[in-house]
Amino acid sequence: MYSIDLGLVRLDFEKAIIEVPRNGDYDWMNEDWIDTQQQIEIVQDEQSATVFGSTGRFAQIGPHLIGILSPHLYVEKEVVAYLLSRSNTSGLPEKIVRGAVKIDHYSWGTLISLDWGSLGHAPGGVEYCLLPIAGPAISVGFLRLDWTSVQIHTSS
């Protein structure tokens, strides 16, 4: 299990995951991709961490800055607004903007993601924020985790 100490919370997870082409051909037109575990290295700072992938290619390798959003956000709507504020969505139809945001619920809280490719950014990628049940929102950038194995522990 990996652990990242963010001061107010500790983020634990079993593994990071990347998508790789089944046949090893990294051509963007390849439609046959599978999930696999990514080997990572965590460089812990006082209240954040930087994660580097030792497997994968391009943006999968990182660096991925993991930290609590500042100012602290505790509401799903605010986290969505934060993610959307990082991209210029003016001129895009509302349906496309709403379609780029995905919200999933887990035992630890809510996973909110933004698919940059859906907004017309190349090469795209998906950016993730975790909204724990009892804590502030955490940005994990483009690092994809095994979301079902995530555990979030708040400081007392």
At residue 66, the pLDDT reads 96
Mean of the per-residue pLDDT values of the chain: 87
* 78-110 pLDDT per residue, tens: 999 998 888 777 777 677 677 789 999 999 999
Cβ-in-10-Å burial (0-12, 13-18, 19+) of 66 comes to buried
| Among 70, 144, 71, CA closest to 104 | 144
Q: How far is the C-alpha of 92 from the C-alpha of 132, rounded, in Å?
A: 30
Could you tell me the residue ranges of all domains in the chain?
2-154
What DSSP line would sit under 65-117, residue for residue? EEEE-SS---SHHHHHHHHHHTS--TTS-HHHHHHHEEEEEETTEEEEEEEGG
Quick one: tokens of 104? 């999933």
Q: How far is the C-alpha of 111 from the C-alpha of 128, rounded, in Å?
A: 7
* pLDDT-based confidence at residue 71 (cuts at 50, 70, 90): very high
